[in-house]
Amino acid sequence: MSERAVVDRLTCVLCPVGCELEAARNAAGELDITGNQCDKGVPFAVEEILRPKRNLATSVPIKDTTAKMVSVRLSAAVPRDLIFPILAEIAKLRPQAPVRRGQVLIANVLGTGVDVIATRTLLLSEKPRQR
Amino acid sequence: MGKPLETCDVAVIGGGPAGLAAALGARRAGAGKVLLLEREKTLGGILNQCVHDGFGLFLYKETISGPEYAERLAEDVAREPVKVETGAMVLDLSRERVLRVNSRNGYRLIQAGAVVLAMGCRERTRGQIEVPGTRPAGVYTAGLAQNLVNLQNLRIGNEAVILGSGDIGLIMARRLVFEGVKVKGVFEILPWPGGLERNVRQCLLDFGIPLELGSTVVEIRGRDRVESVVVAKVDEAMAPVAGTERVIPCDTLLLSVGLIPENELSKRAGMELSPLTGGAVVDESLMTSVPGVFSCGNVLHIHDVADWASFEGLAAGERAACYAAGERATGTAVHVSPGPDVKYVLPQIVTSGKAGVEWSFRVARPVRDVRVEVRGKASGKVYARGKYSRLLPSELQKIKVNDAVEEDLEVGCHE
């Protein structure tokens, strides 16, 4: 075990058992995962280390409704290194009420095949908020 | 008083994940007149500002954000003939289940057949953890910062330090990075993180934010606005170690140092509260020491997952409906207490002879390779046992006893 260069320690989140995985590089430079109690642990760890995916959530200003902001997220997780480029796209959004939960605000953001969707329903208010 | 009392079968106080579910639970168990009172203008409680995903995995079998979870639950309630009142503040609750309510309809008294408490919790503040130093602007609780950033579109600062590693603090660390705020570090007085492991990974590690365990903020500096904080290591007694102080320039300090169940109304009703949970002492039906008053969600004990608050709400609502219909438990009270390495166990009281009771418990510190046992205090009999390779204080656990219980019990960790 002494030649193993540990690159990461992580807990598998695929089931409540929560195996504690250890990822190391073997002599050939390949990832070697230990600590998994089932077959799913290895691909989980390899993806988490080499190509981690994340969802992201934020909120953007909205007008003519009862709230100042509408919350948004991605319809699915994207590669982690796309978080900031996608946030920059979301920052350009100025949605108008009404907005429905699940409504696509940016389709196929940055060609990822993933949409930016509203996560809250905000109706057109009769008396727009004074600002 | 003169005024005739308005009546309802079940009154639910609070329209967050627990209260909404409680209203649903009450309807499912056949309650006729269900009244849901929420003091904010919108339903959903704290979920509305929790824009991150990770909610609903257990209730809706998919991972969604807080606002989506709140809307779906509110829609489920809207399909039922539940009277929902927003902007309604419950000012008082009596032992006889009379609510004093102030709302757009004015001030009125409501006699409820049963009451479900679902008021949620509040954040622990600077005053409660006694951080020395000046009193400048720029010190926020993490949840307040979350509200300002996610709902009010306000920028709260440029360079932040976070004290405490509760989940909201971790989530806000990432949220501030998204907003262009430099997060200089998270400092946790305990030797382990307060929040869930996935949040440590996805909110801190992903963005290179340092997490320093066993350290705390010992001084806040700045006259009008925070200018810096002084952090230091702590010893086993959690006292700062002289000589380890470090000054960190920043203009913002976020506190994520714990949540306190909001039991002001419960106290008005003369309810017995647990010093271990900060919430009511309840029996297996989630009924408090005040007959006909039930408790669920964060006002009962702090949850790490909203779904569990909702499941608890469903159960409390169902039991409240049964109580309102005249059902009463018979039997003496069996007491349940936390044993080795267990911080608290809930319910604290069980009606003797009751079978199939499930307990929630939380460990007091991280433990490895343990058997959690529900043991009879007098007989030493093991009623239930679970083996765990690892248990963390941040994760609420469940253990179920199938047999009828006739003696006082202890839930503890054993080698």
pLDDT exceeds cutoff 90 at B5: no
Contact A11 B197 (CB under 8 A): yes
Question: Mean pLDDT, chain B, as a whole number?
Answer: 95
The answer to whether B261 touches B278, Cβ cutoff 8 Å, is yes
* Strand B397-401 to B367-376 pairing: unpaired
Same domain, A65 and A111: yes
A20 touches chain B (CB under 8 A): yes
Mutate to test the interface with B, among A82, A90, A120 (most CBs of B within 10 A): A120
Reported confidence tier of residue B246, pLDDT bands at 50, 70, 90: very high
Residue A125 falls within a domain, yes or no? no
Q: Provide CB contacts within 8 A for B82, sequence distance 6+.
A: B23, B24, B26, B27, B34, B35, B36
- Cis peptide, bond prior to residue A95, ω within 30 of zero: no
Same domain, A40 and A64: no
What distance in Å separates the CA atoms of residue A10 and residue B250, rounded to the nearest whole number? Answer: 31
A125 touches chain B (CB under 8 A): no
What distance in Å separates the CA atoms of residue B120 and residue B47, rounded to the nearest whole number? Answer: 11
Residue A30 falls within a domain, yes or no? yes
pLDDT value at residue B4: 65
Same domain, A106 and A82: yes
Contact A73 B201 (CB under 8 A): no
Render A86-106 in DSSP notation, one character per residue. Answer: HHHHHHT---BS-B-TT-EEE
- Cis peptide, bond prior to residue B275, ω within 30 of zero: no
Tell me the mean pLDDT in the region B377-397.
Answer: 91
pLDDT tens digit sequence for A37-57: 999 999 999 999 989 999 999
Same domain, A72 and A38: no
Residue A42 falls within a domain, yes or no? yes
Domains of chain B by start residue, with CATH: 1-122+259-329 (3.50.50.60), 125-257 (3.50.50.60), 331-415 (2.60.40)
Same domain, A113 and A61: yes
Per the structure, the complete domain to which residue A96 belongs is given by: 57-118
Reported confidence tier of residue B3, pLDDT bands at 50, 70, 90: low
Share of chain B above pLDDT 90, in %: 92
Same domain, A21 and A72: no
Same domain, A42 and A80: no
- Tell me which residue of B104, B102, B82 sits closest to B92, measured CA to CA: B102
pLDDT tens digit sequence for B40-79: 999 999 999 999 998 998 999 999 999 999 999 999 999 9
What distance in Å separates the CA atoms of residue B307 and residue B303, rounded to the nearest whole number? Answer: 9
pLDDT value at residue B329: 84
In chain A, how many domains are there?
A: 2
Chain A nearest-CA distance from B208, in A, is: 13
Tell me the mean pLDDT in the region B101-127.
Answer: 95
E strand or H helix at B67: helix B66-78
Residue A127 falls within a domain, yes or no? no
The answer to whether B66 touches B48, Cβ cutoff 8 Å, is yes
Q: Which residues in chain B (188-207) have CB-CB distances under 8 A to chain A? A: 197-198, 201-202, 206
Same domain, A97 and A69: yes
pLDDT tens digit sequence for B287-310: 999 999 999 999 999 998 999 999
Interface predicted TM-score (ipTM) over 0.95: no
pLDDT tens digit sequence for A6-42: 888 888 877 767 788 999 988 888 889 999 999 999 9
Same domain, A32 and A17: yes
Residue A114 falls within a domain, yes or no? yes
* Strand B106-117 to B6-13 pairing: parallel
Helix runs in A4-131, H state only: 41-50, 83-91
Same domain, A102 and A62: yes
What distance in Å separates the CA atoms of residue B71 and residue B44, rounded to the nearest whole number? Answer: 7
